Amino acid sequence: MAFLKTIFILFLVSLISFCNALAQKNYEISDDAKQILFLGNSITYSGEYLAYVETIYRLNNPESKLEWINLGLPSETVSGLSEEGHAGGAFPRPDLHERLDRIFSQIQPDLVFANYGMNDGIYLPFDTTRFNKYAGGMRWLNSKIQAINATPIFVTPPIYDPEKGIPYSLTLDFYADWLIAQKSEKDWNVIDIHFPMKAYLETQRKTNPSFYLAKDGVHPNSTGHWLMAKPILEFLGITDSDSFITFEESIADYPNGLEVFILILQKQKILRDAYLSKTQHLRPGIPEGLPLIEAEKQVELLENQIRDLLVSK
């Protein structure tokens, strides 16, 4: 009975949140801003949505000199929780608390996008103690970002496919709702990707029950990453992307758009791997990055190609 009550409450919460999150608050990046940092788990580490965002932002702002850095780490949480036997018992989930100070000693970002939640409930039904660990971790992260005079921007977790487990899907509805509420309660910058993804999945499954955004229920495919990118772009003031079904459609009218994306994706991966190694993450199984000096040389060459493509007609 208690479980059914929890499901009912979370269902109501998700409906309210979806209605409240339809309109995103736009953010204007300062002309003085130099670095944008993305933190998160394996979904951010994979980098596709981040590359979509940088590509379209730069196609719309070809003179921009912003440096976009991806420091997502697979399996990571901001709650500090890890399920028993994670990774077959090989290692516990990485905890952002452990590495954040080292990141900020190497990188001085002006904006920090943080996308956590997917791993933070450790794939179990909603529990107040676990939720409080997540909420406490997000408050801690907010204070740490502000302490370096950067702007925190929080992104709600992507959806967990309910076909893989309704209880955890509802848990993430609750986590996303709490984060959205911080916009009005604490004046946080919050971008909702969760409920737009949820609505899209539900709509597609009305005509195609086998449709999915994440084959394993967790890691979005290219369509899922595009759905993640669109609210972020809207937040950054690029509103026309929402009308395009795919990323490829969104860049079709830009000269060299696909070439720019390919180079940006390559650049982001080089920087990601170099900075992950430089900041000494503790997660096993991550490829070693280039020494930072060598990575920056390669990135400079790629940047020169990108800028040439952006200004050519």
* Element of type H or E holding 26: none
pTM: predicted TM-score of the whole model, two decimal places:
0.92
> Among the residues of the chain, which ranges form H helices?
2-20, 42-46, 48-60, 96-106, 128-147, 166-186, 194-207, 222-235, 247-250, 257-278, 292-311
Contacts of 73 (CB under 8 A, 6+ apart): 40, 41, 42, 45, 94, 96, 99, 276, 281, 283, 286
pLDDT at site 312: 80
SS3 258: helix
Taking the domain 2-22+34-311, which CATH number applies?
Answer: 3.40.50.1110
Contact 151, 145 (CB under 8 A): yes
Name residues of the chain where pLDDT drops below 70: 1-25, 313
pLDDT at site 31: 85
pLDDT at site 25: 61
Contact 229, 197 (CB under 8 A): no
pLDDT at site 1: 47
pLDDT at site 54: 98
Please provide residue 267's backbone torsions phi and psi, each rounded to the nearest 5 degrees. Answer: -60, -45
Contacts of 98 (CB under 8 A, 6+ apart): 282
pLDDT at site 289: 98
**Both tokens assigned to 61:** 């702002």
pLDDT at site 17: 46
Pairing state between β 111-115 and 35-40:
parallel
pLDDT at site 26: 77
Choose among 97, 95, 121, 109: nearest CA to 152: 109
CA distance 195 to 21: 8
CA distance 122 to 191: 22
CA distance 60 to 57: 5
